[in-house]
Structures are given as structure tokens and as C-alpha cells.
Amino acid sequence: MRYLQFGVHWIQGAMRINRPWSLELEYTRDMMFPLLLRPRLTWPRKVLLIGLGAASLTKFAYRYLPDALLEVVEIDPTVIMTAWQFFGLPDESRRLRIEIGDGYEHVAATRRRYDLVLVDGFDAKVHAGDLDSTVFYRNCRARLKRGGMLATNLVSRRGLPHASIERIGKVFDGRVLALPPNEANTIAIASVDKPACVGYDELRSRAATLRTCTGLDLLPTIVRAGLGDLVL
């Protein structure tokens, strides 16, 4: 195993050397939960990733979403170089674009539209700053296409980050699902569309299909969250 850490306490990313495409940390697996809610073969076609870290999410999407265009925004060029040198980040290509920049400013300025926005950005003190603000979430929603979804990592040392979840819920008209915390990480998922129901049996079936295709097993997440029929 190889780890990317903030100091000695915060593991930001991990890679198993002989399975560099796998999602080793549980919270990164939870970040892919939207794939169960939009199971179409053509979804997502365009993905924005804010925060690169050890490139776990980028590498998984690059390998298992071959029709998707990936756009990564990372504020620290040292993180990008580290991901290339030590964590197997693929070179830029037609499918993968990497930008050095501020994710907050990016969603405020860009006019591109995305099917899926994944946010996992923190400073060295594990503070999300403006990436956990009402304005940022509002801009994310404006950048999502019809059927689009946001998945964001919320870090809290004291259980659920209720204030953050409330901000997201207000922006997305209550269409937000907070998965149970993984240690300090809570993944919140929001949808721009009118509520749609996915039955429990269908959710399990989609999880089994995803595991067969990618090796990613989200059934433990379904069980841990106590999900029945899901409306989001």
C-alpha cells in the first residue's frame, strides 16, 4: 500500500500497488454511489473532479467509464506531480484534462455542463473552505446537466456535518442523501432532478452488476446506510 497523507494523522489517499485502479478507502467507494442511481450505459458522459489527491477517483473513472470525458481541477501543482510520479495518474489526453486552479472559482466561471461533479478538496488542515459554501453548491447545481448529480466529501470529527448537509439540501430542494460516516468522512449526494424512486431490490441488483463490471462493491454501503426504497 502507498498512502498520501496530511501530516501524520490524515490519510488523504491510498493505492494498492498491484491494483492501482481500485478504490481502497471506503469513503472513495461511497463517492461512486451515484453510479447506482443513474445506471444507463451512457451516463456519465462528462465528469468534473475537484481535488485530485492520490488520483483514486480519477483513475477509477478513467478505467471503468471509458466513454466519459474527465476534467480535474487541483489547486496545488505539487499534488498533481505527486499523483503522476507515485500514484499512477494517467497522462493528459482527449479523455482526461487536468487544470491547476481553484475549484470554487472554476465552477463560478466556467460555462461547461457536467453529468457528475465529484468534490474532494481540502487544505493541509483538512478545511474545505469555500468548497463547503452555499454559493459553491449553487454554482455546482448550475453546472449540472439534466439528470446530473453532485457527490461531495464532507469531513467532520463530530459525527454528521449537519450544517453542510443543510446547505446542500437548500440548494438542491431537499434532494440530498447523506451516507453514514466513514470515520471523519461523510459523503453527501445531491440531484438536480425531480425525485425518482429506486427500489431496494433494484438497488441491490445494480450494485451486483457494478461489482461484476468494475470490482467495486457498494452492497456494504447499501446495508450500512439501511437503505430501502430510495427517493432522490
pLDDT score, position 160: 82
Cα–Cα dist 3/6, whole Å: 10
pLDDT score, position 7: 67
User: 109-135: per-residue pLDDT in tens?
Assistant: 999 999 999 999 887 677 788 999 999
Average pLDDT, the chain: 92
Confidence tier at 143 by pLDDT (50, 70, 90):
very high
Position 208 in a domain: no
DSSP string, 137-189: HHHHHHTEEEEEEEEEEEE-SSS--HHHHHHHHHHTTT-EEEPPPBTTEEEEE
Kindly report the CATH number assigned to the domain that includes residue 101: 3.40.50.150
pLDDT score, position 124: 67
Average pLDDT for residues 16-20, to the nearest whole number? 93
User: 47-96: per-residue pLDDT in tens?
Assistant: 999 999 999 999 999 999 999 999 999 999 999 999 999 999 999 999 99
pLDDT score, position 29: 96
The single residue listed with the C-alpha cell 501543482 is 77
3 state SS of 126 = coil
Res. 12: pLDDT tops 90: no
3 state SS of 7 = coil
Q: Residue 63: give the domain boundaries.
A: 2-195
Cα–Cα dist 86/15, whole Å: 9
Position 212 in a domain: no
The predicted model scores a pTM of 0.94
Position 216 in a domain: no
Res. 225: pLDDT tops 90: no
Higher-confidence residue of 31 and 193: namely 31
Position 96 in a domain: yes
Instruction: Count how many domains the chain has.
Output: 1
Position 118 in a domain: yes
- 46, 38 in Cβ contact below 8 A? no
Position 201 in a domain: no
The single residue listed with the C-alpha cell 450494485 is 207
3 state SS of 119 = strand
